[in-house]
Structure 1
C-alpha cells in the first residue's frame, strides 16, 4: 500500500525512526528522512535504498517550525505530494525534576512535544487542501503514566496525546479524509539510553519488558497503512500501564515511588557522557536502530500481531490462535 508513496519520517537517523525507514524501504516507498545527525541520516538513506525504496535526506531540527515547513516545501517540490507524515523525533533528560535546568526542560519540550506539533502542522497545511493523507504519532505508554526521572519526556508525551486528540476531532468536524493516529510504544532498545542527557549515577536503562525497535516500526508502518483506529498499542506493558492507571493510579504512584528510580539504572556501568539534547549525537558517528540491550529485548509483540489480525479475531476464527500467539510472544 505504500509503494511509490511519499512518506516523511522525523527522527529518521536512529532508533525507532531508523527501523521505520528501513521497513518503508522494503515496501518501496519514497522516504523523506528528517533529523539533525548527518552521518546517521546518510547511513539510513543507504539502508532505505538497499531495502528497495528511495530516500532523500533533509537535515532539520524539528523544534524549529520554519525549518520543518521549509523541509516540507522541499519534499513536495522534489518528491511530490506528501502521503504520510510520521513523527518520531525526540530528546530528553534523565534526571530528577529539580536537577533539570529550565533551558534543558524547554529544549526537551520544544523537540519532543513541539516537534510533533510543527510536523503535524506542516503535514496538515498540505494534506487538508487535497483532503487526503495520514499522520502517525509515535507515542508512549508514558503518555498515560508518568514515571520518576523522566518528567520532561512524560510531560511531552502527555501533551502530544492531548494535542493529537484535539486535532483529530477538528478533522472529524470538517468531515476530512485526512487521518491521524497514535502508536503507543513500550520500552524499546534504542540508542536513546546511550545518547540522552543523563545526570544519573548509573547508565540509564529501559524498564522491562523491552522490545526491539523493529517491533515498534512494524506497528507504526501498519498504522500508516491502516489509520482508521485512533491509537495502537505495542507490548503488553503498554496496555497494562493504561489499564492500571485508570483502575489504581494511587497504587501505581506508590509502586513507582518505591521502585521506579532503581529500575531505570543499570548496575554495571556509569552514563556514557554523550548527550544529544543540543547537538546531534550521530553527526559524526552512526548509532543505528538498536541500543545496548539486545540480549534482553523481545522481537515479537502479541499486541502488534492482534492489531494486524483483528478482523479474523473479531470473527471468532482466530481466538484460540490469538491466545496461542500471545503466549508465544510473551516468551520472546
Structure 2
C-alpha cells in the first residue's frame, strides 16, 4: 500500500520540488497551497509518476482551512504518513517600513501556518500512534539578517514550538517523529513575488542552491528519522559563527546584509506581491537564478556522519575563528 505525504507550499519553490521528490519515490501526495491553477498544473506533472495526487487550495494561515484539507486528504487518499510544512511568506523591508498588518500576515503564514500543519497532522497521527512531521526551517532561524525580520522571527518561533512538541511526544510515549530541516539560500520564485519595499530587486545570498537539494534533504529526514538536518555548509557556518561572535556578525550584516540581498537592478513599480493574495502565473520550483545555483551540496552531512562532522568541526574551528577575525578586520575592530 503506497504511503501518503502532505506537502504545504506545494505550488512553487521548495514545496513544489519536495512534492516532486515524494511522488518520484512512490508516495501519493496531497498538495496544499493557495493558487488553484498552479496546484492543478503541479498535480498534472506529478501524476506522470503513476501516483495519486490531490491538489487542495489552502491558505495555511487559516486553521479551519488546514483542518478541512487534512480531512479531505484522509477521506480521498487515506491515513497521512508524512506531513511536510514548507509554506512561507516574507517581506523585504526594514522594520521601520513594515506595517502591523504585514507583520501579522507574514507571521501567520510562516509561523502559524506550520503550527496549524503540525496540529492537523498530530491529531490524526496520535490515533494511529505513527507518522512523521517535517518542519522546514532556515539558517536565518539561528542568525537573523536585516530586511527580513518577520521571516527570521517566524523561523525562530518554529524552532521553539517544535522543540516543545518533541518533549511532549516523548512524555506521551508516542511513536511519532518530528524532524527539522534548516535551509540555506535557495533559487525559488520568492525573490520575484515577495513584497519588496527596497526599490531594488531581491536576491538570495550566495551560495545559492537549487530547490531539489533541500527537497532531497526533506525526503531523507522524513524517511530516516533524523531530528535535525542542516542543508548546505553555509547553514552550518551561519549557525556556528553566530555562536562564536554574534555581536561582530551584527555589525558585519549591517552592511553585507543589505548588499547581499539586493541586486543593482531597480524593482518594477508594478512588481507582484504574494503576501495577502497569491500571484497568478506559471511559476514552478525554480526562480531566476539557475545560472548561479548549485545542484548539490553537503546536505545532511551533519546527520549522516555526526561523529566525523564534529571531529572535523573541532579541528576546523580554528578556520571559523580565522574567518570571524577577517570580518573583524573589515569592520576595523
Structure-1-length-normalised TM-score: 0.90
Structure 2 partner of 1:296: 292
Distance in structure 2 (CA, Å) of the matches to 1:252 and 1:50: 47
For 2:3 and 2:90, the matched residues in 1 are separated by 31
Query: Offset of 1:258 from its aligned partner?
Result: 2.0
Please give the alpha-carbon distance, in whole angstroms, between the structure 1 residues aligned to 2:82 and 2:207.
Answer: 30
* 1:160 aligns to 2:158 (yes or no): yes
Give 2:121's match in structure 1, choosing from 120, 123, 130. Answer: 123
Matched, 1:253 2:250: yes
Offset from partner CA, 1:262-311 (integer Å, 9 cap, x none): 111011342561100011113xx12000001111111001133x368539
Judging changes above 3 Å, is the alpha-carbon distance between structure 1 residues 308 and 25 closer, same or farther for their aligned structure 2 residues? farther
Q: Does 1:139 align with 2:126?
A: no
Contact 1:222 1:308 in 2 (8 A): no
Q: Which residue of 2 aligns with 1:267?
A: 264
In 1, Cα distance between the equivalents of 2:51 and 2:42? 12
Residues 43-54 of structure 1: matches in 2 within 5 Å? 43-54=41-52
Select the residue among 173, 178, 188 that pairs with 1:175. Answer: 173
Match of 2:328 in 1: none
- SS in structure 2 at match of 1:293: coil
Shift of 1:53: 2.4
The alpha carbon displacement at 1:230 in A equals: 1.7
Q: In structure 1, what is the Cα distance between the partners aligned to 2:122 and 2:64? A: 15
- The 8 Å contact of residues 27 and 53 in structure 1, kept in 2 or not, is answered as no
Cα pair distance change 1:297/1:159, threshold 3 Å: same
- Which residue does the alignment assign to 2:305? 310
1:323 is matched with which residue? none
Question: Separation in 1 of the partners of 2:51 and 2:201?
Answer: 36
For the structure 1 residues 83 and 274, does the alpha-carbon distance in structure 2 shift closer, same or farther, using more than 3 Å as the test? same
Could you tell me the TM-score, scaled by structure 2's length? 0.90
User: Quick check: 46-55 or 158-167, which moved more?
Assistant: 46-55
In structure 1, the partner of 2:235 is: 238
Could you report, residue by residue, the CA deviation over 1:178-207 in whole angstroms, capped at 9, with x for unpaired residues? 000100000000000011000011100001
The residue that corresponds to 1:62 in the other structure is 60
How far apart in 2 are the matches of 1:73 and 1:154? Answer: 31
Distance 1:173 1:308 in 2: 24
Change (3 A) 1:239 1:311: closer
How is 1:78-89 mapped onto 2 (pairs within 5 angstroms)? 78-89=76-87
Which 5+ residue runs of structure 1 have no aligned equivalent? 320-332
Moved over 3 A (4+): 306-314
The secondary structure found in structure 1 opposite 2:79 is coil
**Contact 2:93–2:148 (CA<8 Å) still a contact in 1?**
yes
* 1:225-259 deviation line (CA, Å, top 9, x unaligned): 012x2210111110001101111101110100121
Aligned to 1:19: 17
Which secondary structure does the structure 2 equivalent of 1:72 belong to? Answer: helix
Render the CA deviation track for 1:81-138: whole Å, top value 9, x for unaligned. Answer: 1100000001111101111110010000000000000000000000011110000011
Deviation at 1:223, TM superposition (A): 0.7
Local SS of the residue matching 2:178: strand
